[in-house]
Amino acid sequence: MDFMHDALRDGRTFRTFNILDDYNREGLGIAVDLSLPALRVIRTLDRIIAWRGKPEAIRCDNGPEYLSGQLVEWAAKTVPVALRSTWKASAECLCRTV
């Protein structure tokens, strides 16, 4: 899972929360909004788990988006979250596409 951001023509920024299955690179979900608070992220993850089942682990980069107390608490109760460095994530994506 990862966050991305961009800006609209009028200058307002928006964020996307993307969830991919690492095994088959299937896009499981995307949430798009001007703001994506922790409760919205948790709700999105809960919906995907209800639909596809609970994963063994969730892998994400170690960005500040994942340091929310609510998200850390949810992960401790639900599924382990494996953090990885942003550089390693970029290298893995590059290797898969080459």
Distance, in Å, from the CA atom of 6 to the CA atom of 33, rounded to the nearest integer, reads: 11
Report the sign of the C-alpha dihedral through residues 60, 83, 86, 66, in that order: positive
Q: Give the position of tokens 């596409």.
A: 97
**Residue 32 banded pLDDT, cuts 50, 70, 90:** very high
- Say what the pTM is: 0.76
Instruction: Tell me the average pLDDT across 68-86.
Output: 76
**Residue 84 banded pLDDT, cuts 50, 70, 90:** low
Distance, in Å, from the CA atom of 43 to the CA atom of 35, rounded to the nearest integer, reads: 14
